[in-house]
Amino acid sequence: MPLITRHDWSRSEIQALLELPLMDLLWQAQQVHRAANPGYHVQLASLLSVKTGGCEEDCAYCPQSLHNSSDVAGRPELEVEPVLARARAAKEAGAHRFCMGWAWREIRDGAPFEAMLAMVRGVRELGLEACVTAGMLSDSQAERLAEAGLTAYNHNLDTSPEHYDRIITTRTYQERLETLARVRRSGITLCCGGIIGMGETDADRAGLLEVLANLDPHPESVPINALVAVEGTPLEDLPPVDPLELVRMVATARILMPHARVRLSAGREQLGREAQILCLLAGADSIFYGDTLLTTGNPAVEADRELLAAAGVRVTA
């Protein structure tokens, strides 16, 4: 199958892919993935929560929202040196990208932002890619992050435009798209994906992928998350995502965005080894590596090493 990069996918085309018999979908995704990623290389990324909880957003899935009884506020914001110590440890454990999260609606100027810039510079000096997720940002903040060497800015769309206001009301979909545009203008690469298992329909899943696949250029990094239903959030009673649904999302994302890194992200702890290997087969070429993802669990480092060895994939920067 020749590699074709498109930015004009229709929702009906995408939904048709998602609804293919699984073997047919995997076959198509395999052909694209083998052409785009010969040799099956997987990047390891580590994620640290720098500022945890107390977020003004009301995201229904998030234990860091002050609107939810699960809010995990109270942990002190981490200083520069402890963050860089964690980055060094992540590198020693095999990670190639170090991601840092702040539970903010938007980046705060002043000392917190200066500390963020210092962390980005320090992570880059270690030879790691640096990624930040911290909500909305201004053009000048994006420019300063680019000057500091930031590799990628994570700002997920979460779900389709139609389902969005059932999940978040404190920030519009358009504001998210404007943030992505600011990041892109600064020259920083985009890390942008979504979450499944939040009560959305198959059409909503196609709608999320439609927005991502029609960005030009595509996001360089596309995290695919499964909801981790946390007690104290509005979505706490939703059932776990069927692992094969995650496989379908990964495979379809790979077909739509051949050269993006498709990152197997939150919810991986709920997957068995076989389901994770199916996701790698379907086109995932990055996993988050380490014990926690911001505030939710993640498979342990040693288990990940064994998983990648069993799958026969190579680790790459």
Catalytic pick among 144, 171, 191, 205: 191
> Which position among 86, 205, 248, 263 bears the catalytic label?
263
Q: Which residues, other chains included, contact 309 with Cβ-Cβ below 8 Å and sequence gap of 6+?
A: none
Give CA–CA dist 32/251, Å, rounded: 9
3-state secondary structure the chain: CCCCCCCCCCHHHHHHHHCCCHHHHHHHHHHHHHHHCCCCEEEEEEEEEEECCCECCCCCCCCCECCCCCCCCCCCCCCHHHHHHHHHHHHHCCCCEEEEEECCCECCCCHHHHHHHHHHHHHHHCCCEEEEECCECCHHHHHHHHHHCCCEEECCCECCCCCHHHCCCCCCHHHHHHHHHHHHHHCCEEECCEEECCCCCHHHHHHHHHHHHCCCCCCCEEEEEECCCCCCCCCCCCCCCCHHHHHHHHHHHHHHCCCCEEEECCCHHHCCHHHHHHHHHHCCCEEECCCEECCEECCCHHHHHHHHHHHCCEECC
For residues 98, 136, 202, 278, the Cα torsion angle rounded to the nearest 10 degrees is 0
| 279 classed as catalytic | no
Q: Is 59 a catalytic residue?
A: yes
Kindly name the residue from 86, 97, 99, 279 that is annotated as catalytic. Answer: 99
Question: Is 55 tagged catalytic?
Answer: yes
211, exposed or middle or buried, with CB in 10 Å at 0-12, 13-18, 19+?
A: buried
62 is catalytic: yes
Question: Residue 48's closest CA among 301, 292, 298, 305?
Answer: 292
Q: Which of 62, 86, 171, 268 is catalytic?
A: 62
Tell me which of 59, 171, 176, 254 is the catalytic residue: 59
Catalytic residue among 86, 97, 131, 248: 131
Residues labelled as active-site residues: 55, 59, 62, 99, 131, 191, 263
